[in-house]
Amino acid sequence: MRNERPIIALDFPAKEQALQFLGQFEESLFVKVGMELFYQEGPELVREINRLGHDIFLDLKLHDIPNTVESAMRGIAKLDVAMVNVHAAGGIEMMRAAKRGLKGSDTQLIAVTQLTSTSEEQMQREQLISASLEESVVHYARLADEAGLHGVVCSVHEAEAIGDACGEEFLRVTPGIRPAQASVDDQKRVATPAEASRQGSTHIVVGRAITKAANPQDSYNQIRAEWSGQ
Query: Cβ(120)–Cβ(132) under 8 Å?
Result: yes
CA distance readout (Å), 24 to 20, 29, 94, 214: 7, 11, 39, 12
What one-character-per-residue DSSP string does 152-210 give?
EE--HHHHHHHHHHH-TTSEEEE--B--TTS--TT-SS-B-HHHHHHHT-SEEEE-HHH
* Catalytic residue, candidates 15, 32, 61, 103: 61
Residue 61: active-site member: yes
Query: Cβ(121)–Cβ(111) under 8 Å?
Result: no
Query: Cβ(18)–Cβ(10) under 8 Å?
Result: yes
Distance CA 192, CA 178 (A): 5
Distance CA 49, CA 15 (A): 10
Distance CA 86, CA 156 (A): 19
- The residues annotated as belonging to the active site are 61
